[in-house]
Structure 1
Amino acid sequence: MRDILPADKARRERVLSVIRDRYRAHGFDEIETPVVEEYARLHAGIGGDNEKLSYNILRRGLDADGIRSAAEDPAALSDLGLRYDLTVPLARFYASNRAQLPAVFRSIQIGSVWRAERPQKGRYRQFVQCDIDIMGDDSSRAEAELLVASLDAVAALGLTDASIRINDRRALDWMLDAFGFAAEERPGVLITIDKLDKIGPVGIVAELRERAATASAVDAFDAFLRRPQTREFVSFGENQIRKALPDGAPDDIVAHLVGIGEAVAAGRDLEGEIPLVFDPFLVRGMGYYTGTIFELAHPSVPYSLGGGGRYDGMIGRFLGQQVPAVGFSLGFERLVDLVALDDDTDAAAVVLVHDADVPVAELVAHKAALIGDGSRVRVERRTKNLKALLERSAADGYTAFATVSAGNPAGSLEIKALG
């Protein structure tokens, strides 16, 4: 967990402002949910490995005897926990407030989440997620809206060459079935396939054999991985999708993916190549995905900048009635370190450097006059090292300064640029 200094905070807010602006332009409305959810909801088996990283809150009123007697059962010790993502709280929010929401609800949710990660570079225990979701629409239009809006937001941040890797969990299930993997071993097989970018095809096959997966299925998968066209993720369209899958891929799944690509091309006003790449081995580890899954990529970095997918089964757990849902989460912490936005120059940011003998009333009058003209104003007492004071102010985002002596009439200050 980190302290965020003023200049960094201002930069983060500028990035968030751009994201919010673009998402609102696409018809999404911002909501807010509590940072705390019920323990049972956070540990319902839908959060994958994140459930193991959740911070739990001790039950109120527990005494020492109660803690000792419940020590073997974390659920008996805790009834609440800090949210580890924004999707589980959103599902609960929708189930609780559905009567007040439109039939198709498009949400923005931005906020901190907490996971008990190992401290390391780029891994934080508290970090911001930036999600958009659509509930109530089971058509490819929902995925297309999410992808177009997210590509628009990323482009507005200056990352114009972004693309999205896309797959479908139904295609993965069909592929594993076609190879001959038994249903009970598929979750473990998917965990291994998810490491393809890290350990390569040879490592994948070796790990599957170590898992004692069905030998004939591993042989079939090994042969599939050795095909030259299997790993050629260069474009998007029906031919490319079918070429990247085993023969006989289900027509409805292929048509769903193709429809998303056509809609994204139209929404981004593209006449050439669609910024989507079909990746038959994209897995994403969350167990609640039921259909399309995607990850945001940019050529400047080797890691993803966001992702999401369709999770049609989650809301039904809370509502007792199935509701289609799909979401996309931008990796805000990665984005904010990557993008370069200009400082907000709509208003001047002025430091008033005053002598010690300037009366408070005069100083406040000067400050009020500048604020009235639309400036942002900070007051600083003159120090012996004026240069260091001004450099610090510039680092904090101030663009100009003025010196104030006793008796300066209001409106008479000479404003000078910093730097």
Structure 2
Amino acid sequence: MASPITPPRGMRDFLPADKARREHALGVIRRSFSAHGFDEIETPVVEDIARLHSGLGGDNEKLAFSVLRRGLDGDDLAAAIDSGDILSLSDLGLRFDLTVPLARFYATHRAELPPVFRAIQIAPVWRAERPQKGRYRQFVQCDIDIIGEASQLAEVELITATAAALDALGLTDCTIRINDRRILNGLLEYCKFEESRWPQVLISIDKLDKIGTAGVVAELSADGADSAAVLGGILEHLEPHLADGGVALTVEAITGILPDGVDTDAVAALEGLAHSLDTLPPGVTLRFDPTLVRGMGYYTGTIFEIAHPGSGSSVGGGGRYDGMIGRFLGSEVPAAGFSIGFERVVDLIELPESGAAGSVALVYDQDVPLDRLLSVKSELIASGSRVRLEKRTKNLKALLERVEADGFGAFAFVTPQTTDAGSLELKPLG
């Protein structure tokens, strides 16, 4: 018995009906982002390996797929293994997100772009994940970014446009959890963690929803047990305040749950952000969550993440990453972005069946002249219909069920007596 032929693990095929529904959802997102003044760009699927492993991608750098250099031989492989420098075998890698390529894009084309650049990127990315429900090795991200705007206008526009896209998709009951890296840094300073350890501490806090407070403390206790204990006490204190995704975005609510001395400027900035976002769709709620980290190492200020009760993981996220583009240009450029996790969102929404109302299957007899068959088809296409030719079979019922499943809403028989599209008798399917 032949073994099943399937895609590589963590990657998927999409049948025509599924592909059409996905493209419908992507079209809704594109139109919504575009209506808010963003312009779509495209970048290559590969980037230089050094750029992908520059320390900006957090744990995702470990999941990057590398492309072997051309012309390698056994000696090269042996030398790389001996030296422990496997990355030297590669000069390119598949992108693991769309933010690192955007930073490179902006550095390349800055002179051709406006002072404040609003970008859309909707494209696949690749990560060597352990495949599981909602987590794939190839998946689509829907990103918007604003480069060159240092004020909170960037965050306001990003959150507004993303909320509008979710609303246009019909996704309700969303909570946008918001935090600021400066507040997180203040918490770590309060706990007296050495600054060199902050990245590792943040990685542990980012696992809070999976391993709990005890797990975070256990991970951090090996080095700096006193600091870990202080952090554990803070997390236990915060836990009841996070039941609804966090607390209201007000200075009183935020300072009421944080230790004294945490960055008050960042707290005031979050309250100002909330005042500017009081016209979001009714299905979107803003909440402050001081345990929100966002795993990427490039975030420098405000960070945000979308939670939905129908998903065990976030369905989107982003934040401000002012330091990234300066790595390529040698000068600081403010930047912020928001990404919708398309694969998770598309599983939560009801999508209409694609184009059935304007789709016609022409079931033709074998003796119909080809020129007449194609003429009838062309007439229908010119009138705005989607048309497929299907040869009449003995099992007509099965044929019609198949074309209906493929999204067609009507059919008509084409016989040698058919003269033009006007002589067809269109019959509904289903």
TM-score higher than 0.5 here?
yes
**1:156-177, CA deviations, whole angstroms, 9 ceiling, x for partnerless residues?**
0001322200111110010111
**1:37-63, CA deviations, whole angstroms, 9 ceiling, x for partnerless residues?**
111111111111211111111222334
The aligned length equals: 414
Counterpart position of 2:19: 9
Q: Secondary structure at the match of 1:80?
A: strand
1:237 to 239, 245, 250: 250
**Paired residues of 1:112 and 1:128 also in contact (CA < 8 A):** yes
Q: TM-score, normalised by structure 2?
A: 0.91
In structure 2, how many angstroms separate the alpha carbons of the residues matched to 1:65 and 1:224?
54
Q: Secondary structure at the match of 1:314?
A: coil
1:130-169 matches, within 5 Å, as 130-169=142-181
1:179 to 176, 188, 191: 191
Q: Secondary structure at the match of 1:15?
A: helix
Q: Does structure 1 residue 254 correspond to structure 2 residue 254? A: no
Amino acid across the alignment from 1:244: I
Q: Does structure 1 residue 382 correspond to structure 2 residue 395? A: no
Q: Does structure 1 residue 47 correspond to structure 2 residue 57? A: yes
In structure 2, how many angstroms separate the alpha carbons of the residues matched to 1:300 and 1:118?
22
**Paired residues of 1:185 and 1:213 also in contact (CA < 8 A):** no
1:258-407 matches, within 5 Å, as 258-266=271-279, 268=280, 275-345=285-355, 348-407=358-417
Structure 2 residues without counterparts, runs of 5 or longer: 1-10
Of 12-21 and 56-65, more deviation after overlay is shown by: 56-65
Question: Aligned-pair distance for 1:415?
Answer: 0.8
Amino acid across the alignment from 1:13: E
Counterpart position of 2:229: 219
Question: Aligned-pair distance for 1:346?
Answer: 8.8
Of 292-301 and 233-242, more deviation after overlay is shown by: 233-242
Counterpart position of 1:416: 427
Q: Secondary structure at the match of 1:283?
A: coil
**Paired residues of 1:7 and 1:397 also in contact (CA < 8 A):** yes
Question: Aligned-pair distance for 1:105?
Answer: 0.6
In structure 1, how many angstroms separate the alpha carbons of the residues matched to 2:356 and 2:412?
19
Of 225-234 and 343-352, more deviation after overlay is shown by: 225-234
Structure 1 residues 346 and 258: alpha-carbon distance in aligned structure 2, compared to 1, 3 A threshold: farther
Question: Aligned-pair distance for 1:196?
Answer: 1.6
Question: Aligned-pair distance for 1:205?
Answer: 2.9
Q: Secondary structure at the match of 1:123?
A: coil
Q: TM-score, normalised by structure 1?
A: 0.94
**Paired residues of 2:184 and 2:290 also in contact (CA < 8 A):** yes
**Paired residues of 1:167 and 1:293 also in contact (CA < 8 A):** yes
Structure 1 residues without counterparts, runs of 5 or longer: none
Q: In percent, how many aligned pairs have the same letter?
A: 60
Taking only aligned residues, the RMSD between alpha carbons, in angstroms, comes to 1.9
In structure 2, how many angstroms separate the alpha carbons of the residues matched to 1:90 and 1:102?
15
In structure 2, how many angstroms separate the alpha carbons of the residues matched to 1:344 and 1:66?
52
Q: Secondary structure at the match of 1:227?
A: helix
Q: Secondary structure at the match of 1:49?
A: helix
In structure 2, how many angstroms separate the alpha carbons of the residues matched to 1:91 and 1:10?
31
Amino acid across the alignment from 1:250: D
